[in-house]
Structure 1
Amino acid sequence: MKQNIGNLLALYPTPAVIIGATVDGKPSWTLVAHIGIVAHDRLLVSLHASHYINEGIKESGRLSVNIVTEEFLPQADYCGIVSGNKMDKSGVFSLATGDGGTPMVGESPLTMECRVEDVYECNGFENFVCSVCHTYADDSVLGVDGKPDYARLRPVLFEMPTYRYLRTGDVIGHCTDAGRKYKENLAE
């Protein structure tokens, strides 16, 4: 039997990402797990309004979304516990730059360079609705079809309310296969 556990937001885990933007002429980074898809070409990045990086994002209208992998999780986690207001985080990662001039994490095997389309404020958070301008991927994380292969990429996931990082799991099937099999069994 299910029990009511309150109004807990239970959509975790989500991918851990480093958001990159230029602030006061230098790259800055912050770790985020409040990210989501709002359309096939739009995503949402939710940052508390007090974050240092927000001003740079609003000023330039651009940000990068860098998928975190285990190889650079310690640096990513550091960017989540240290404020850009107090520490210069510009040298934490090797710098790559997108075609639109947006700072990107060189260590990240998959990065999306985004343009901010709208900012929605809610409960002390600034929610940046972004269009994806360019996606950059290392060859090592691309499948034979030239698209990201998440079994190769193995992004780190963040889970709340326990504040833990998780590894991505194994492939368990192809989208629609299980539904088609279920549908066939209904027809029998």
Structure 2
Amino acid sequence: MRKNIGSVLALYPTPVCVAGTKVDGKTNWLLVAHVGILGHDRLLISCAKAHYTNKGIKESRVVSVNLIDEQLLSKADYVGSVSGKTVDKSNVFDEEIGETGVPMIKDSPLTMECIVENNYETEDFDNFILLIKNTFVKEECLDEQGKINYDKLKPVLFEMPTYQYLSTGEVLGKCLKLEK
């Protein structure tokens, strides 16, 4: 028997991401737990309206979405625990600048350089709908066909109800190829 536990967001775990943008001319990083796919070329990041980073995303209309692996996890956790309003987070990660001028985490195994298409606002959140302009991947995380190999990339996952970080697991099978 299943039990109704109310209106609970239950689509976790999701990849741990850090958003990068410029706020008043200075790089700022934000740990983002709410991410979603809107097709093959768009994604959504949902940021509480109180975040300082939102100002930079709204003004510049560009943001980087950086996947986090275990090597970067402690820094990612840190940028999610302090506010850019009171702490300079510009030097937490080594950065490189994308074609749009957006800061990207140099050591991230995968970074998507994005352009803001829209902001779907709810009462407490800015939900930025992003067009992926470029995707940068460490070469060692690609397979022989040049596709992303997530077994090599090993993104960290975030699970919301318990606030835990998880590692990615084993491959269970190929999609649309499992025996019935």
Structure 1 length-normalised TM: 0.94
Aligned match of 1:4: 4
Structure having the larger proportion of residues in helix: 1
Matched letter for residue 8 of structure 2: L
Residue 76 of structure 1, CA deviation: 0.3
Please give the residue correspondences for 1:1-188 in structure 2 after superposition, counting only pairs within 5 Å: 1-178=1-178, 181-182=179-180
Deviation at 1:41, TM superposition (A): 0.7
Equivalents in 2 of 1:132, 1:105: separation in Å?
16
Amino acid aligned to 1:130: L
- 1:86-135 deviations in whole A, cap 9, x for unaligned? 10000000011111111001120100000000001012100000000000
1:8 CA drift (Å):
1.0
Moved more, 3-12 or 76-85: 3-12
Question: What is the rounded CA distance, in whole Å, between the counterparts of 1:28 and 1:138 in structure 2?
Answer: 22
- TM-score under structure 2 length normalisation: 0.98
Q: What is the identity percentage for the equivalent residue pairs of Structure 1 and Structure 2?
A: 52
Deviation at 1:140, TM superposition (A): 1.2
Q: Deviations over 1:32-79 (max 9, x none)?
A: 110000111110010011110111111110000000100010000000
Q: Paired residue for 1:185?
A: none
User: Which amino acid is 1:104 matched to?
Assistant: M
Once superposed, what is the RMSD of the aligned Cα atoms?
0.7
Partners of 1:50 and 1:85 in 2: how far apart? 10
The residue matched to 2:6 in structure 1 has which SS?
coil
Q: In structure 2, the residue corresponding to 1:119 is in which secondary structure?
A: strand
How many residue pairs align between the two structures? Answer: 180
Bigger Rg, which one: 1
